[in-house]
Chains A and B, each alone.
Chain A
Amino acid sequence: MDRDEFLKYLELYGGDLGRWPSVLGEEARAACEGSQELREALDQERRFEESLMERVYEEPSPGLEARIISAAAAVKRPEPARNSVLGLLGAVFSAIPLPRPAIALPLLLVLGMAAGYLYANYAEQDTDNAQYAEMLYYGEEYYE
């Protein structure tokens, strides 16, 4: 690892070589051993990070967790819709670890087929009605 690479990674991963990706960390240690300049850069980075860690921090109030849990008890939560068919279907689909398009496409196909079947029946029934009306108008002879 050359000087520029070392300085770039130092900026990126910080002064704790243990937190660098393992291969780079090893290379960085080796590079530091052979260079006073890099050791100084590492020390400087560590001092900079220590100064950032001096930033104000306040611990949360004791009992924050208990407060959140009791606040949740007061929140009305919609019951899981397991009693309805749609709720059950939703539960089944959410339990299947498939990407959404893989569920949506077959669902669309099924809906399309159902719509086609219903429309075909409706259209057939419509034709029958029209024929019956014509028969009444013209008389049965018309069709014989």
Chain B
Amino acid sequence: MDTTVTLPLGQMGIETKEFTDEELMGRLRDGDRDAFSTLVMRHTKRYYSLAYRMLSSREEAEDIVQESFLILWSSPASWDGGRETKFTTWFYRVVANACIDRKRKQSPLPMEDGIDPPDEGRGAEEALEMKRRKENIDACIGELPESQQTALALCFYEGVSNREAAEIMGVSVKALESLLMRAKASLRGKLRGDKGREENQNGQR
């Protein structure tokens, strides 16, 4: 997770030194734009992915990632490098909290009407089925409590370790594990139920 890249430091004439995220944050505090750019290039995709998993919207996710990085740029002192929190862990927390705030401000979106498209053969039917399944999974996850959604996004989709996810969410590892287990059990039940309903509908046709 602690990747390092070559950072051209034009102003200092240094070309090949490698910097960790934490070193870059130190430089960012001194107003180093190259350090900021390196952090953005290095981590945007990772934080976008989390934001997308939490908000299910590309525009919203991009917006959140941009806002979070701009906060980092305008007040880098908000990251307390003296404590033992890694930059990536801390920034996950910033992005996750921003997503939670955004979701709370949003009014729930109306469900899409299930309009049957014109029959265009088996391929189209399969594609439609796949699309429905994906949307169904999204809807099921969207129905989970906020904390379970965050735990699932971090551990399952982002591959963050349970310990780090617990630190990001500000809960104990036990509490996080409990959230994960409940999220999975609940999803399993929902998906099984939906599958059963689908099979019944197909049988009736």
Docked Cα-Cα span, A117 to B45, in Å, equals 58
On whether the beta carbons of B62 and A52 are closer than 8 Å, the reply is no
Let me know if B31 is at the binding interface, CB within 8 A: yes
Chain B interface residue number, banded: 35 or more
Tell me if A72 and B69 are in contact (CB < 8 A). yes
State the CA gap A88–B81 with chains docked (Å).
18
| Residues of chain A with a CB closer than 8 A to B130's CB | 54
Q: Which residues of A contact B56 (CB under 8 A)?
A: 56
- Which residue of chain B lies nearest to A49 when distances are taken between CB atoms in the complex? B156
Q: Hey, which bits of chain B sit against chain A, CB under 8 A?
A: 29-31, 33, 36-37, 40-41, 44-45, 48-49, 52-53, 56, 58, 61-62, 65-66, 69-70, 73-74, 81-82, 130, 133-135, 137-138, 141, 156-157, 162, 177, 180-181, 184-185, 187-188, 191
A75 and B52 within 8 A (CB): no
- B82/A65 in contact, CB under 8 A: no
Question: In the complex, how many angstroms separate the beta carbon of A10 from the nearest chain B beta carbon?
Answer: 10
Asked whether A99 is an interface residue with its Cβ less than 8 Å from the other chain, the reply is yes
- Contact, CB under 8 Å: A56 / B41: no
For A31-66 the 0/1 string (1 means CB < 8 A from B) is 000000000000000001101101111101100110
- Which residues from chain B contact A12 at a C-beta distance below 8 Å? 162, 177, 180-181
Q: A11-B184, A48-B188, A72-B36 are in contact. Are A64 and B69 (CB under 8 A)?
A: no
Closest 5 CB pairs of A and B: A72-B73, A58-B58, A60-B48, A55-B137, A56-B134
Number of interface residues of A (CB under 8 A): 33
A55 touches B138 (CB 8 A): yes
How far in angstroms is the closest Cβ of chain B from A80?
Answer: 6
Known: A55-B137, A80-B30. A69 touches B40 (CB 8 A): yes
Select one of A64, A80, A94 contacting B62, CB under 8 A.
A64
**B191 x A51 contact (CB < 8 A):** yes
Q: Contacts of A71 on B, CB cut-off 8 Å?
A: 66, 70
Using known A-B contacts A72-B36, A77-B31, A77-B73, determine if residue A60 contacts B82 with beta carbons closer than 8 Å: no
A86 to B133, CA, bound (A): 60
Please name the residue on chain B nearest to A57 by beta carbon.
B52
B96 to chain A, nearest CB (A): 17
Contact of A52 among B40, B41, B156 (CB under 8 A): B156
Q: Which residues of A contact B82 (CB under 8 A)?
A: 94, 97-100
